Structure formats: structure tokens, C-alpha cells
Amino acid sequence: MQASATNSQEEASHLETENTDLKNDNTKLKKTLALQKPLVKIGVSIRKRFLEKTRSGRYHKPEQADIVHEGNVAAHECCVAADAALYQLGYMSVIEKPVPRPREYFRIDDEGKVLIEDVEKGQRVGMRYKDLFYDLYGREPRNARSHLWGKRERREWDMIGTMLSCCEGFELGETESGDDWFDPFNELVEELNEVRKEIEEQYENQDDRVKAFEASDEVDARLKEMRDIVEETRLWSWHKNREMSDIGVEIGWKWG
């Protein structure tokens, strides 16, 4: 009888351990799926664009503009959630060796950051992806998802990153450059920061601050204006790069 009770206790303990392990596995799986979601969305949009462009060319059918547009956005614009997931899921490593780059000298400090050197001798390295991530999103990739961001704040940083990545000469915060797109964009960023400060004064809890930012009509209006500017500048940048590429092809054909 005592042996039977002992076996029952051991079996119950074993089942409890299995149940705990299953719960942990389920939690990890949910976290992985959440991390993969933005990457899957981007991948789907890009492949649908490819199939739509191919279908249109092969069967001489007009393109479905919305599919092509979504694919272009996915391929050519920033997405902090997707880029952070590359590190969180192990597709990219924060431990990254610098790549040599000619004519520019850099020094790596104790924290692994790249500093420009003005001396003739130094370690020649290229900017690493994690440094690029910091430039685009204002934080390290390993900390990006721990920051409590709402959907609108992610959109804001995606647009800021897109401007930084595709617009030569754009500087975040510069409102007196004289550029018809850059200055208004930065003014809108400043206005969003003012809204953010007002919200921070009203709410102490970060969750409440995020909810207030998400629900603000002022934020929504400014994000829409920023979106229009991003669309214009991205298309302008694409056409400019295409023209430069065509010039390169022409020069190569003439002199190659």
C-alpha cells in the first residue's frame, strides 16, 4: 500500500514536471511566432510582388498596383520589428567582425562602437550591421524589442529609418536645411516629441503613456503627413539611383 502511494506521488510529480515543460515550450513557441510574424509578412509581400510582376510580364496583364506597392515598401523601407527579429532569432549576430573598407579609418572603443579616426594610421574597418541598426533606430538591436513600443511609435521609427537609409543628406533633427521634404519631416518629428512630452507629464506608467500615444488624433495626423513625405522621397531616391545606374551602364558600354 505504501509502495503504491509512493509510485502515485512519483507519477504525479513526473506529470507536473512534464506539464511545466510543455507550458515553457508553449511560451517559447508563442514568442518565436511573434518574432517571426513581421519577417513572414515582409517575405510574403516581396514574393507576391515578384509573382505579380512576372504574371503581368508573362501574360501581358496590367499589374495590381497594391501588390506591387506593398512589395516595394517591404523591400525598400525600414521595419524595426523585422530587423530586431533578425537578431532575436539568431539570423544575425551582435558579435560581428568588422569588414575592411578602404580610405576611411575607424577605431573600435571598449564597448564595441565604431569611432572615426582623424589620424593617418589606424584600424581600417567598415561599419557593422549592428552600428547601422543603432543609426537607424536609436538603440542596440539586442534592446530593441525590450523597449515598450506601440504600433504608432514603431511606424514613426520605421519612417525615420527609411529617411536615413534612402535619402542622402538627410539629418534627423535638422529643420533649416532648406530642403522641401527633409525640413517638414523633421518638424513633424519635433511635434510628435512635444506630444510625447505632454503625455509623459500626464501619465507616470509607461503602459498608459503608450496607450495615450496610440489613441492620440494629433499623433495620427502627423504620422499621415510623414507617410506622404516618405513616399515622395523614397520614389525620388529610387529614380535618382536608377538614373545613376543607367549612366553607369552607358559608361560601361562605351568604355568597357
Given a cut of 80, whether residue 71 has pLDDT beyond it is yes
For residues 83 and 130, give the distance between their C-alpha atoms in angstroms, rounded to a whole number.
10
Q: What is the mean pLDDT of the chain?
A: 78
Min mean pLDDT across 9-18, 20-29, 245-254 is at 245-254
The answer to whether 211 touches 167, Cβ cutoff 8 Å, is no
Given a cut of 80, whether residue 13 has pLDDT beyond it is no
Min mean pLDDT across 114-123, 205-214, 219-228 is at 114-123
pLDDT at 15: 72
Give the start-to-end residue ranges of the domains of the chain.
1-76, 80-145, 148-256
| Residue 25: HSE in the Cβ half-sphere, 13 Å Cα cutoff | 6
Q: Hey, which residues does 108 pair with through a beta bridge?
A: 114
State the average pLDDT over residues 111-118. 48
State the average pLDDT over residues 178-203. 95
- Single pTM value for the model: 0.71
